[in-house]
Amino acid sequence: MRGPHNIWRLIRTGATFQRTGAMGVVLEAFNAPPAVRIVSRTVGWTFAWMGRKGDPTLPPLLRALQAMGPAYVKLGQILSTRPDVVGDDLSLQLKILQDRMPPFPRAVAVASIERELGVKVDEVFLEFSEPIAAASIAQVHRARVAETGEEVAVKVLRPGIEQAFRRDFDAFYLAAWIIETLSPSSRRLHPRAVIEHFEGSVRGELDLRLESASASEFEASTRGDAGFRVPRMHWELSDRRIMTLDWAEGLSANDMDGIIAAGHDRKALGERILSLFLRHALRDGFFHADMHQGNLKIAPNGDVIALDFGIMGRLDAYTRRVYAEIIFGFIKKDYRRVAEVHFEAGYVPADRDIDEFASALRVVGEPIFGMSAGDISMGRVLSYLFEVTERFGMETRIELIHLQRTMVVVEGVSRTLYPQINMWDVAQPVVEDYIKDSIGPKAFLRDLSRTAIVLSRFTPRLPQLAEDALARQSAPPPPEEKRSHPARSFAWFAAGAGVAVLSGWIQSLL
């Protein structure tokens, strides 16, 4: 499926953008040079007849994205949170993609539920509404459980969505191959690996059992976070294509008029969303990786309610520390330490000059701190960092793709709520708390304890290993094999016992 025949799909994508008028919108939004615009118009009009018409009632870009399929719609959802990139007008248009896509009939949803769960909808639910929100992958119905009377949200996958995504990603893989072939310098960015990473994330959205598990885990890990809620799962009413959870009452985060009318503190909301994202990423290593406005609600009491857990991100403990130290170094303007962290983590080749890299990082940081709060943009930071890392041969870190992309999205959401938000002021206390907890004497003892626990698991095997080693002394060893000394075997046994005692002592201190 990832062969040259997908060239047709790529050609049709460009033709659709030309036919719907979206090509001109995109070129204008990104300030394309005149030469590029002339070539695009000339080539575009040649192939425009091959493009899809789309819905003529929609603005050009929405019309093109919706006509091309769900993967393109996902791209539009991401861009909708970046008015500083695509402009305010285009950002407002793209927000329609978040939760106001054309729904499929209620009867189709009912049939899907009855087929997946093996029950009659009328017997399980006292009420089951028409679609109240429809996105690129699924739509949501409001219902009332017959047994308990609880109000719930029932999410149902779109029919045929798996095949549609497969077609889109096939074309994306071909595009990545073309880019790598024609531009060898792009290979360090691993375009195909990046697409594999995103494909795996999106495919997680196509099995709602995985999303249900993520929702349950996220609810457990964030239960103590003030001002933040995750709806409770109803496992008995969920399956591969169906997901049921508590109904969340509140305003959509993209309903600015409603939020203002309700009297919510927009500054506090914007700062809370940004700080909570950082807290989840650094503290838990498990974060919501699709936090656009359509996936957030504002409760009447001002709580932020998260929805749609199909795309979640994970970071291991070491990566979290590296990321925290990089952010903290920028906050403190300690560019030498930021450079050292990059080298220690192996992000930059060891043969590069660390002082030169630190100077390049200063070029990234200093202009940012000279800007007013409203002008500071993570998008701009990432753009500068991209230029620096390209120069120093840093390869794309696939495990950080979700974190970087989500950081940009969350910043966009926060800035929509409060345009003057200062990213660094919000991030500093969160990162400092994490640094204190994860880098210091207490953290050292905790890490030592965990290491000791792992080593102590071998302790029960040490007596048998010692006996086997002693038994081998009585048989003549092969010429190429070194003789094991009995004292060495006993030393291993003693070391294992010591590890077990040390582990217990450290845990008692913590």
DSSP 413-455: HHHHH-TT--HHHHHHHHHHHHHHHHSSHHHHHHHHHHHHHHH
290: annotated active-site residue: yes
Task: Give, for 509, the enclosing helix (H) or strand (E).
Answer: helix 486-509
304-306, strands of its sheet edge to edge: 228-229, 304-306, 296-298, 251-252
Q: Where are the beta strands (DSSP E) in 198-351?
A: 228-229, 242-246, 251-252, 286-288, 296-298, 304-306, 312-314
DSSP state of 284: I
Tell me the C-alpha distance between 350 and 263, whole Å: 54
Of 84, 99, 168, 290, the active-site residue reads 290
Query: Is 2 within 8 Å of 195 (Cβ atoms)?
Result: no
Query: Is 167 within 8 Å of 9 (Cβ atoms)?
Result: yes
Tell me which residue has tokens 């077609």. 167
Query: Is 1 within 8 Å of 166 (Cβ atoms)?
Result: yes
Q: Which 3 state secondary structure label does DSSP give 30?
A: coil
Q: Which 3 state secondary structure label does DSSP give 80?
A: coil
Query: Is 45 within 8 Å of 83 (Cβ atoms)?
Result: no
| Nearest alpha-carbon partner for 239 in 206, 208, 203, 202 | 208
Question: Which residues are identified as catalytic?
Answer: 290
